[in-house]
Amino acid sequence: TQLLEQSPQFLSIQEGENLTVYCNSSSVFSSLQWYRQEPGEGPVLLVTVVTGGEVKKLKRLTFQFGDARKDSSLHITAAQPGDTGLYLCAGASNRDDKIIFGKGTRLHILP
């Protein structure tokens, strides 16, 4: 069974600080997506990474796909209260085309 482990589970930091959250697996994925989910809403796609080593930037958010396509990281610079939410990674399996979600990192930015 392919699993995506996200760490940390919970993170609470002050506004203005930097942070990195991780998404790890022992399996290879053909692509990986990051979603953000706010309370009472469904997840919303932030980015898709496809190539090993790929780096994508979305304003203050930097996403990286590991060289071996088994892991990914999300770095946020100068976090703001609006970044608060549940960050989910989702991998597309190489074997059976299934999309597997991690359990997420619940991020809280304190003003």
**In sequence order, what are the beta bridge partners of 63?**
56, 74
Say how far apart CA 77 and CA 94 lie, in whole Å: 32
Nearest CB to other proteins, comparing residues 45 and 78: 45
Give whole-number Cα distances, 60 to 19, 73, 82, 95, in Å. 11, 14, 12, 33
Residue 88 as a binder of other proteins (CB under 8 A): the answer is yes
Q: CB neighbours of 36 closer than 8 A, spacing ≥ 6? A: 43, 44, 46, 85, 86, 87, 88
Residue 45 as a binder of other proteins (CB under 8 A): the answer is yes
Residue 30 as a binder of other proteins (CB under 8 A): the answer is yes
Residue 33 as a binder of other proteins (CB under 8 A): the answer is yes
Residue 15 as a binder of other proteins (CB under 8 A): the answer is no
By CB under 8 A, the count of residues binding other proteins is 20
Residues that bind other proteins (CB under 8 A): 30-31, 33, 40-45, 48, 88, 90, 92, 97-99, 101-104
